Amino acid sequence: MVVNYASSKAGADAVVKRITGNGGKALAVQADVSKLEDIQRLFAATNSAYGRLDILVNSAGIYEFAPLEGITADHFHRQFNLNVLGLLFTTQEAVKLMDGNGGSIINISSMVGRMPVPSASVYSATKAAVDAITVALAGELDPRRSA
């Protein structure tokens, strides 16, 4: 298992210790999944350690609530770059390591994607995008399983 972390090495190392302490194999890799270079490095480490990938859990995400007048380009891009673009790029890299033999991709979303709340328009939009991407990619990637 590869445990990705953005900033908490101690937390990731604790997860790795629990896994290896129970007989599993794991390593921690630091990568900011809002950055393509970091994503590529994360999956290169995964490939080097395991040679393939069976399951990807896209759980990285941030939320910043702001009323309409508080929304800035930085506020928007910070959330979309991690919550949406990062999810797409990690999925691209994961599929390369799944090599058509099947695998699972789990995308973590939120109810606010379908039921937005006040001051969460940008965050809600990212989670609605995650829901739409999940449905679209399920149809796109499923035929590759037997290819």
Active site residues: 123
Q: Residue 144: in which H helix or E strand, if any?
A: none
Q: What burial class does residue 58 get, using C-beta atoms within 10 Å of its C-beta: 0-12 exposed, 13-18 middle, 19+ buried?
A: buried
Helix (H, G, I), strand (E, B) or coil at 108: coil
Residue 26 zone, left/alpha/beta (φ > 0; ψ -120 to 50; rest): beta
